[in-house]
């Protein structure tokens, strides 16, 4: 499950440049029986199998360093976001514990410094969530992204959603690239992008806007957006439509 994502594009280059080292371990390496069994039936009965505590404890004993943070992937954890990715990107050593099957023995939680969820849904194991955390975190390590695809421009980096992007052709199936982007006027382009980012965030994620740090210019752009929308609403007699 890890080989594909870790061997592609940005994660691959980050490892090749020695900006990060990622090692994948098999819990079965910390079993002591012939069949390398990592799960067992739940106490109290019920369907499904539960991951045993011993392989997790022995794995963490073997892998833990002085500066390790142990993260347990579970839908019951704290919700992962950009701020958490920034904190993780500054840490020296992370250990991701991935559950499988119906769950893990409750005592495994005592190993974790934090429990992390990637969202309010259940996937079949902690591996994909761990990959999500790894990808989002590694791209924030200085030097991983080149200037041209700097993470500073990403959605959420500045607390806002990203502005729209276009490439050639300038007109496709009657869909036009906004004129300002073809103008070569970099000051206007920068202003347009900021305004679009604010507009998108206002429309799609007003919760983000409440927490974003906005400059005086941003406040001005926002009031332009709001004034324009109010004008459109009174012209059409309709509420603003969801685009």
Between CA 243 and CA 211 the distance in angstroms is 23
The distance of closest approach from Cβ of residue 131 to ligand ADE in the complex, given in angstroms and rounded to an integer, is: 11
Between CA 242 and CA 33 the distance in angstroms is 58
Q: Is 102 a catalytic residue?
A: yes
Closer residue to ligand ADE (CB): 25 or 194: 25
The distance of closest approach from Cβ of residue 136 to ligand ADE in the complex, given in angstroms and rounded to an integer, is: 13
Write down the catalytic residue from 105, 139, 200, 218: 139
The distance of closest approach from Cβ of residue 41 to ligand ADE in the complex, given in angstroms and rounded to an integer, is: 20
Closer residue to ligand ADE (CB): 89 or 97: 97
Q: Is 129 a catalytic residue?
A: no
DSSP letters spanning 142-179 = TTSS-GGG-GGGSTTTTSSPPPP---S-SEETTEEPPH
Q: Is 139 a catalytic residue?
A: yes
Using CA atoms, how far residue 62 sits from 105, 161, 206, in Å, is 19, 41, 45
Write down the catalytic residue from 54, 75, 193, 205: 75
All residues at 6 or more sequence positions from 180 whose CB lies less than 8 Å from its CB, including other chains: 188, 189, 192
The distance of closest approach from Cβ of residue 10 to ligand ADE in the complex, given in angstroms and rounded to an integer, is: 22
Residues of this chain that interact with ligand ADE (CB under 6 A) are 73-75, 99, 117-119, 121-123, 126, 129
Closer residue to ligand ADE (CB): 112 or 145: 112
Where is 114: in which H helix or E strand?
Answer: strand 114-117
Closer residue to ligand ADE (CB): 53 or 164: 53
Q: Is 135 a catalytic residue?
A: no
The distance of closest approach from Cβ of residue 126 to ligand ADE in the complex, given in angstroms and rounded to an integer, is: 5
All residues at 6 or more sequence positions from 91 whose CB lies less than 8 Å from its CB, including other chains: 67, 69
Contacts 24+ apart (CB under 8 A), 79-85: 79/116, 79/117, 79/118, 79/119, 79/120, 80/116, 80/117, 80/118, 80/119, 80/129, 80/132, 80/133, 80/136, 81/156, 82/136, 82/156, 82/157, 84/116, 85/133, 85/136, 85/137, 85/140
Closer residue to ligand ADE (CB): 53 or 125: 125
Write down the catalytic residue from 54, 58, 115, 154: 154
* Catalytic machinery residues: 75, 102, 139, 154
């Amino acid at each position: 499950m890890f080989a594909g994502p870790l061997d592609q594009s940005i994660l691959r280059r980050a490892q090749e440049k020695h900006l990060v080292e990622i090692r994948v371990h098999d819990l079965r390496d910390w079993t002591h029986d012939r069949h390398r069994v990592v799960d067992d039936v739940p106490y109290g009965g019920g369907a499904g199998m539960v991951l045993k505590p011993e392989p997790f404890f022995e794995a963490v004993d073997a892998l833990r360093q002085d500066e390790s943070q142990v993260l347990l992937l579970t839908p019951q954890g704290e919700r992962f976001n950009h701020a958490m990715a920034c904190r993780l990107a500054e840490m020296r050593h992370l250990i991701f514990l991935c559950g499988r099957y119906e769950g893990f023995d409750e005592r495994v939680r005592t190993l974790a410094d934090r429990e992390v969820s990637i969202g309010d849904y259940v996937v079949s194991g902690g591996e994909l969530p761990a990959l999500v955390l790894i990808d989002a975190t590694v791209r924030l390590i200085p030097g991983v992204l080149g200037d041209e695809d700097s993470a500073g421009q990403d959605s959420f980096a500045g607390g806002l959603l990203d502005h729209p992007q276009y490439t050639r052709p300038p007109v496709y199936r009657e869909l036009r690239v906004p004129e300002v982007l073809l103008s070569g006027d970099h000051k206007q382009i920068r202003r347009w992008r900021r305004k679009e980012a604010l507009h998108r965030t206002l429309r799609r994620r007003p919760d983000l806007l409440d927490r974003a740090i906005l400059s005086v210019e941003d406040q001005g752009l926002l009031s332009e957006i709001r004034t324009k929308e109010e004008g459109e609403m009174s012209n059409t007699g309709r509420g603003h439509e969801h685009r």
